[in-house]
Structure 1
């Protein structure tokens, strides 16, 4: 199984839209992806895909499963959009740290171990996710804490959107130390599958930033603010937005879709997955039928 977390220290670099569009690109090729978003903020992946409507305390959710208090089966949490299975975010994620610490204290009082950073991995393994899915994508918040650490512990690999700017340059300079810090904190090996520059305008300064990145850069995404804003407005992937909500197809947007397809194939190749039905990159006539 291919497993990765989309992560960036800098905000506003398209981390969530990258996760969403890659998930759809995997599904378009005939693979079965599961997306586990862990960001408690309102601008989250659940909202992007329009499955952000079950947040009351009475609703079963991922946090309940992580603290061993589920109200039902893990499979019942899943919603499917554009061929992608998603575990929607819930308000309890805002207090995940407190819930996990409380469970840890109670477990230790009973002489039991409880790793606060390993609970997502436990839940996914108990639900047979590694056997039932081809791809696992976690979309945690940028801030360090149990959301991020659980995501990285579960996936062991990162895909890092990078803003080619002075702000992004600072993040690039700290990538190696950041990954080493994750490995030390979690006592696991963490790999970077790809860095994905976004909002690239091909300026001299931006090219300098890219030259300083030591990780693989399979694709460089141009400035696509209108396309990505449209995805949020219509609550869908870029593939669906261009196909269903554009009155005409713009060549540069079709090339962006092709880039997500090619990036998905590249990531699949890192673990030896060969998609059963890959489309011609950017081909809108090929894909998962919408309900």
Structure 2
């Protein structure tokens, strides 16, 4: 299984949209995909793909309950499906994840047991046989340091970086390098960066110069697609579903954006040594366009 975390230190970059659309692009190619979003805010991946109906239900089972050893049912019952991908929906209890994990650590230490607060997501996924069930795991933590991010990184060991093509984005990349290095050293794990995806590119000279400074492979540079992404959030769907179902006519630049998401997915798969069994023509959204590439 190839696992990765989509992360940026800067908010509003398009992190969640990239995670959701990359996941759908993996699935379009015939891969089994699980997405684990970990953002306690309402504007999250579960909201984007319309699987957040139980978010405020205090009696519902949740990933947090499983991470602290108090599940109310089997892990498989947490799974919701949207557009062919499996998702563990976010729950309001994610807001208190750090406090819950700290209490579990204190209890373990009181009994003289070791407890790694950053390893609990990886433990839950392993016990649920996720690595044997899925081809791809995508985590989408919030754009802040803390238990959500650290559990995602510890579980996946790989990062995909959406970045703003600006000086602010460059600073965020540099900060993330320090964070990943320190975290890897602290926990004695290796963390790889699969690639970086600039989002919101408008072709200015400063942006062009910034692209030349990115220290990672850049599979695609995505332009300013505000209208498309706002439409996805409004309709609660991926860009693929939005263009196919909610646009009354094809816009070439939007179809090209879908092709970019497909190519990003193929790039990530190649980085992880995963071969998709049925990759579509990049950007194809209609049944008669789904010609398998050689």
Please report the TM-score for the alignment, with normalisation by the length of structure 2: 0.96
Residue in 1 aligned with 2:45? 45
Any conservation in 1 of the 2:36–2:88 contact (CA below 8 Å)? yes
Residue in 1 aligned with 2:10? 10
1:235-254 alignment, distance < 5 Å: 235-254=236-255
> Greater CA deviation, 109-118 or 154-163?
109-118
Cα deviation, 1:8-41, whole Å, max 9, x if unaligned, reads: 0111000000000000000000000000000000
Any conservation in 2 of the 1:172–1:212 contact (CA below 8 Å)? no
Any conservation in 1 of the 2:48–2:233 contact (CA below 8 Å)? yes
1:144-183 alignment, distance < 5 Å: 144-183=145-184
- Separation in structure 1 between the aligned mates of residue 186 and residue 251 of structure 2, nearest angstrom: 45
Any conservation in 1 of the 2:9–2:176 contact (CA below 8 Å)? no
1:161-240 alignment, distance < 5 Å: 161-240=162-241
| Stretches of structure 2 lacking an aligned partner (at least 5 in a row) | none
- Separation in structure 2 between the aligned mates of residue 69 and residue 192 of structure 1, nearest angstrom: 33
1:40 aligns to what SS in structure 2? coil
Residue in 2 aligned with 1:19? 19
Cα deviation, 1:57-104, whole Å, max 9, x if unaligned, reads: 110000000000000000000000000000000011000000001111
- Separation in structure 1 between the aligned mates of residue 177 and residue 68 of structure 2, nearest angstrom: 32
- Separation in structure 1 between the aligned mates of residue 113 and residue 64 of structure 2, nearest angstrom: 20
Any conservation in 2 of the 1:159–1:194 contact (CA below 8 Å)? yes
Cα deviation, 1:171-200, whole Å, max 9, x if unaligned, reads: 133343232122123321111001000001
Please report the TM-score for the alignment, with normalisation by the length of structure 1: 0.97
Cα deviation, 1:189-227, whole Å, max 9, x if unaligned, reads: 111001000001111100111111110101110110000
Any conservation in 1 of the 2:9–2:175 contact (CA below 8 Å)? no
- Superposition CA RMSD, Å: 1.3
- Separation in structure 2 between the aligned mates of residue 81 and residue 18 of structure 1, nearest angstrom: 16
- Separation in structure 1 between the aligned mates of residue 187 and residue 47 of structure 2, nearest angstrom: 30
Residue in 2 aligned with 1:278? 279
Any conservation in 1 of the 2:64–2:97 contact (CA below 8 Å)? yes
Residue in 2 aligned with 1:267? 268
- Separation in structure 2 between the aligned mates of residue 258 and residue 15 of structure 1, nearest angstrom: 18
- Separation in structure 2 between the aligned mates of residue 179 and residue 120 of structure 1, nearest angstrom: 18
Any conservation in 2 of the 1:149–1:186 contact (CA below 8 Å)? no
- Separation in structure 2 between the aligned mates of residue 135 and residue 281 of structure 1, nearest angstrom: 19
- Separation in structure 2 between the aligned mates of residue 117 and residue 240 of structure 1, nearest angstrom: 35
> Greater CA deviation, 265-274 or 30-39?
265-274
Q: Shift of residue 232 of structure 1?
A: 0.2
- Separation in structure 2 between the aligned mates of residue 220 and residue 49 of structure 1, nearest angstrom: 24
- Separation in structure 2 between the aligned mates of residue 68 and residue 239 of structure 1, nearest angstrom: 37
- Separation in structure 1 between the aligned mates of residue 203 and residue 182 of structure 2, nearest angstrom: 32
Any conservation in 2 of the 1:6–1:140 contact (CA below 8 Å)? yes
Residue in 2 aligned with 1:30? 30
- Separation in structure 2 between the aligned mates of residue 173 and residue 51 of structure 1, nearest angstrom: 34
Q: Shift of residue 239 of structure 1?
A: 0.2
Matched residue pairs, number?
288
| Stretches of structure 1 lacking an aligned partner (at least 5 in a row) | none
Residue in 1 aligned with 2:67? 66
